[in-house]
Chain A
Amino acid sequence: MSIEAQIKEQITANPILVYMKGSPDAPECGFSSRACQILISYGKPFSFVNILINPEIRSNLPKVSNWPTFPQLFINGELVGGSDIMVELHENGSLQELMDTVEVTT
């Protein structure tokens, strides 16, 4: 599978997915850390990809998403944005609405 196809599959298969530097337990960038804190506050399980140990994803995701920076949050297969947008949507309540559309399967 091409790396682009692999990325698209990840985005489709994981209803809440963040591409980030480091992991939620040990973020390695202030912006990724802020993104995780916001996601964790909703209490829903989410998936993450650490782009620091996946250099191919790091270099190819920006082409797939038309977005050059990290973190990148996808909900239901759509790019929600980076950490600035996450903060803004978190504060104005739109992120809660988006989160509510995600069905959690256990």
Chain B
Amino acid sequence: MSICETIEKKLNIEIEPLHLEVINESHMHNVEPGSESHIRIVAVADIFSNLNLVKRHQIIYKHLNEEISGPIHAISLHTFSPQEWEERKQETSSSPECLGGNENDNSQ
């Protein structure tokens, strides 16, 4: 199992996320191809509600102690409560509505 898969599995069990992304960003760094050294995690979970960012990150670090002290060189964490995630989605989904300007293009 890859490190990313291990992380995903552990976090799915430990923090029961509503949404979880574990992304290998190692290709952006000066490491050997196929490395899993730079990992980015986006996690949305109920247990983050009412916790400050330090406490949220400490929870994740605690569960990934083995990986962090091993092969991972850098880890980037982005944690949200379900409510924060909803608000964020609304902010980012701001592409304008299609106004139908193409409707005559397919007239054949």
Interface of A toward B, CB cutoff 8 Å: 29-31, 66-69, 79-82, 84-85, 88-89
Q: What number of residue pairs across chains A and B have CB atoms under 8 A from each other?
A: 33
How far is A89 from B53 in the complex, measured between Cα atoms in Å? 9
Secondary structure of the A contact surface, majority rule: mixed
Interface of B toward A, CB cutoff 8 Å: 53-54, 57-58, 61, 65, 68-69, 74-78
Q: Which of A29, A30, A68, A85 contacts B54 (CB 8 A)?
A: A85
How far is A31 from B28 in the complex, measured between Cα atoms in Å? 13
**B58 surroundings in chain A (CB, below 8 A):** 66-67
> Is the pair B61, A84 in contact by a Cβ cutoff of 8 Å?
no
**A81 surroundings in chain B (CB, below 8 A):** 53-54, 57
A-B contact pairs, 21 of them (CB 8 A): A29-B74, A30-B74, A31-B74, A66-B58, A67-B57, A67-B58, A68-B65, A68-B69, A69-B61, A69-B74, A80-B54, A81-B53, A81-B54, A81-B57, A82-B77, A84-B77, A84-B78, A85-B53, A85-B54, A85-B57, A89-B53
**B74 surroundings in chain A (CB, below 8 A):** 29-31, 69
How far is A85 from B61 in the complex, measured between Cα atoms in Å? 14
How far is A85 from B65 in the complex, measured between Cα atoms in Å? 19
Q: Which among B54, B61, B68, B69 has the greatest number of chain A C-beta atoms within 10 A?
A: B54
**A80 surroundings in chain B (CB, below 8 A):** 54
